[in-house]
Amino acid sequence: MFPKRTQCPDALAAAAEISKLAGARSIRNVLEGFPRYTVRKTYVDFDGYFSAFTDRFLNSVKDADVSRVDGGGGLCIQMSRGILYVNPDPSDPKRIEISAESGDPVYLATMLDEAEELVRGSI
């Protein structure tokens, strides 16, 4: 777009969109309309064999409030009112990082506690 000004065209596009929104209504009102999500993390030590852990963990979440599981380098578990990410910790290969995200803080706390229990039971 403006290569002599920036190497990040997305930033300029975002600024243009924000300016357009600001012309129609206040930025504060726009931001208040966005959904709010809380994210919490915890970590669990394990032996470092994530693929073996994954098989046991997936077997244990069958009966949980899970609507979808996506794999890859880790697991993304979609639940009715939140999302769990269960991944090897990038800074410590003998740790599992559990991240929980939800718009409902009470559900988030319960979801994270249950996920930690399932992870520990799958090690």
Domains of the chain as residue ranges with CATH: 1-34 (no CATH), 38-122 (3.30.310.50)
User: What averages of pLDDT result for each successive group of 10 residues across the chain (123 residues)?
Assistant: 56 78 74 83 90 85 69 81 90 92 92 92 90
- Cα four-point dihedral sign 74, 78, 79, 83: positive
Q: Which of 37, 59, 40, 79 is nearest to 119 (CA)?
A: 59
CB 1 within 8 A of CB 14: no
Contact residues for 90 (Cβ-Cβ < 8 A; gap 6+): 97
Per-residue pLDDT, 1 = 47
pTM for this predicted structure:
0.70
- With beta carbons less than 8 A apart as the criterion, state whether 99 and 106 touch: no
